[in-house]
Structure 1
């Protein structure tokens, strides 16, 4: 009889322990569901009409899950892809969504709209399309009319990798009144001309009617040609610049040259990071968190 009672007590004790464990796990799961760390933004793929392109303009847009307010609309980051890339590159190769989700959920950056446009040019009015006009005349007005975003330079940022870094540099220096900060990741800002192994030499943006690389277009579009006007506007755009130390296009050198020029002009508003890596997504994905934090810290 005692043995049977002992058996029942052991069985009940085990059952209570299992029930307690189940309730603990269930409670933890419920907390996880309600935790800020479980928040996730939404990604949409759209096309808009572009008068400048006379063609559809493809976009990928990251929308945070936190609601904006009238007093605090979303800051917006325009994130540009590289040569022969697309509007899906940052999402597919750069881990953009997971990175943005994590940084926003942890409070390291505020909720922000991240716009990733597609371009068949090097973000300029090249021989194949008017990408620069499309960006300023079609894209920015569409985003600001369609989403609850900040409409001042303090809440508007531009960044990009490689050819996109070239584009981000151009846009920020040419229109400092529009952007609160810029980031150029492994920027293809070659001075005076791109090396022969650069895709610029075979990109339709720079190929004239005879299929030759247009050196004059490059030189009048690159940042040295914009420098005097940038100084004359007397508006400081903080810059973050980086490059892999083993970049096969010698971009560490060109990134350092751009940084040096900026640092001499605005010593407290220029950052340079030379990191371990080549001209690849390992560098851009790993440095994306620092880029987003740098840009959105300017907003705060």
Structure 2
């Protein structure tokens, strides 16, 4: 067999399986779409469950974006084959909202109440914190960060790529200002709603849970956070990413990383930062000893 033929067969043998699925969501009262990546040789009878990472799309995106534009299958295949990641299930859900219970859709509630139980009953993935991560880009980074801060007991790590986690308000050119998730009955952007749903609203409760008390005990260990941004982002993501890092370092100084990339608010930046994000996350996911006491 020639070298080229061997490489083609080898790459095919190592490829994960991608499929598009849906299930009925009682919260949404309609079908909930998602794309799932199952690693090569995925085994429903494996002795131990697979880790699972939820990847959230951006504003006005959909459940296919990470596959068609983000190179998730190719990146996962390569990192798993190289031993940087264990065989992992990736779930890429679809949402009409910014991953919040907004004016148009209860996306946050549907994620926690419907999607997670569905995935954990359908696939051989772990239901424990150390086997679960969440990540996203732009509005999906906003959502992933919110999820991890609100429910730190559920996630071992979080990655926010160019997160649209703007504080105190989104810039004038942000799609948040015209997205139905944040538009009131008069079609106006609801600033109070934004503040109530943004990551800043979760910080104090999160801090109380992850900060050691005088006894040295704490409710739960912090959720390590990876952040990336493009240096020429039209939404000034670098500034907001730096602000987010500074804010989170006050709470968990050893569990925050920020990478900056040349480029804007584009898939080029997100594809470039995805391997680093996953490598960072898997320093903490699939590590049961780190959370054994919690």
The Cα offsets for residues 77-123 of structure 1, whole Å up to 9 and x where unpaired, read as 00000000000111111111111111111111110000000000000
Cα distance in 1 for partners of 2:168, 2:19 equals 39
2:202 is paired with a residue whose SS is helix
The residue aligned with 2:165 is 189
* Alignment counterpart, residue 49 of structure 1, candidates 7, 24, 28: 24
The residue aligned with 1:292 is 278
The Cα offsets for residues 126-156 of structure 1, whole Å up to 9 and x where unpaired, read as 0001000100000000000010101111010
The residue aligned with 1:153 is 129
The residue aligned with 1:98 is 74
- Equivalent runs, 1:1-300 vs 2, <5 Å: 26=1, 28=3, 32=7, 35=10, 38-68=13-43, 70-234=46-210, 235=220, 236-299=222-285, 300=287
Task: Please say if residues 36 and 106 of structure 1, whose CA atoms lie closer than 8 Å, have aligned partners that are also in contact.
Answer: no
Cα distance in 1 for partners of 2:120, 2:148 equals 18
Distance 1:29 1:189, change over 3 A: closer
Cα distance in 1 for partners of 2:18, 2:179 equals 29
Task: Please say if residues 13 and 40 of structure 2, whose CA atoms lie closer than 8 Å, have aligned partners that are also in contact.
Answer: no
Please, which moves more after superposition, 63-72 or 87-96? 63-72
Distance 1:34 1:83, change over 3 A: closer
2:15 is paired with a residue whose SS is coil
Cα distance in 2 for partners of 1:190, 1:114 equals 27
The number of equivalent residue pairs is: 275
The Cα offsets for residues 216-236 of structure 1, whole Å up to 9 and x where unpaired, read as 110011111111110122230
Q: Which structure has the larger Rg?
A: 1
The residue aligned with 1:16 is none
Q: Which has the higher helix share?
A: 1
Show structure 2 runs of 5+ residues with no match: 211-219, 288-294
Show structure 1 runs of 5+ residues with no match: 1-25
Cα distance in 2 for partners of 1:30, 1:59 equals 34
Cα distance in 1 for partners of 2:172, 2:4 equals 56
Please, which moves more after superposition, 27-36 or 77-86? 27-36
2:142 is paired with a residue whose SS is helix
The Cα offsets for residues 6-27 of structure 1, whole Å up to 9 and x where unpaired, read as xxxxxxxxxxxxxxxxxxxx16
Cα distance in 2 for partners of 1:240, 1:129 equals 27
Task: Please say if residues 32 and 38 of structure 1, whose CA atoms lie closer than 8 Å, have aligned partners that are also in contact.
Answer: no
TM-score w.r.t. length of structure 1: 0.88
Q: How big is the shift at 1:34? A: 6.9
Cα distance in 1 for partners of 2:159, 2:235 equals 19
Cα distance in 2 for partners of 1:260, 1:66 equals 42
Task: Please say if residues 159 and 165 of structure 1, whose CA atoms lie closer than 8 Å, have aligned partners that are also in contact.
Answer: yes
Please, which moves more after superposition, 67-76 or 245-254? 67-76
